[in-house]
Amino acid sequence: MMAWLTSNITIDPIMKTWSRWIKTIILCVLSVAILLCILLLARSNTFERKIGRWIDSNCSTSSEVCILDIKDITSFEWDQMFVLNEGFEVEDIEKIVGVRPPSSDFSKRKILFEKEGAIVLYEELSSSLEDYVKYQVFFDIPTGKKYEVYTTETAVFIATKGERGYGPFYGLQRTENK
């Protein structure tokens, strides 16, 4: 009987250690899962996805012309919207916009909204040199230019949707009357 009592005493600290390890592992797995959910939610809430969701909800696939006024989907005030293709450093953007952005990944596209000399929204968007990225919005930046500036009056577009194997993509072509 004494041997059982002695062995029980030595097993108890081992069980406590295993219990702590299991709790730590479960906590780590839950933390990673929560972080992934936050990252996926943040990615799906970009302004580019907002444009795509608007087109999905408001534009039929028929030959009907679908007009998107960017003012209608912004929840903030702005004077100018800058759409920049890949290839811009922070200094380049500062020269174009007149305001220094918080960062600039050379390989990403950017959407920047400015109001009275301050940035009110700045997003860097994924890109691919080979093809488009799922849910990508193509703005009508003229050939030879790397960016386009729109005002609240000129940011009115004919919206279209396309589909390929990887998923949908969207096109925004400036209307002629703006």
Phi, psi dihedral angles at 140 (to 5 degrees):
-85, 60
Taking Cα atoms as reference points, which of 27, 62, 14, 47 lies closest to residue 161? 62
Query: How much is the pTM?
Result: 0.70
List per-block mean pLDDT (blocks of 10 residues) for the chain, which spans 178 residues.
53 70 76 59 72 87 80 94 87 87 81 92 79 80 90 92 81 77
* 9-48 pLDDT tens trace: 556 666 677 777 777 777 777 776 666 555 544 445 788 8
Paired residues of 92 in beta bridges: none
Q: Provide the pLDDT for residue 43.
A: 47
Phi, psi dihedral angles at 81 (to 5 degrees):
-120, 125
Tell me the C-alpha distance between 128 and 142, whole Å: 19
Tell me the C-alpha distance between 130 and 124, whole Å: 18
Q: Provide the pLDDT for residue 113.
A: 95
Work out the mean pLDDT of the chain and round it to a whole number.
80
Q: Provide the pLDDT for residue 20.
A: 78
The domain limits of the chain are 1-44, 47-174
**Residues 169 and 134: beta-carbon distance below 8 Å:** yes
Virtual torsion, Cα 139, 140, 142, 145, nearest 10 deg = -10
**Residues 79 and 106: beta-carbon distance below 8 Å:** no
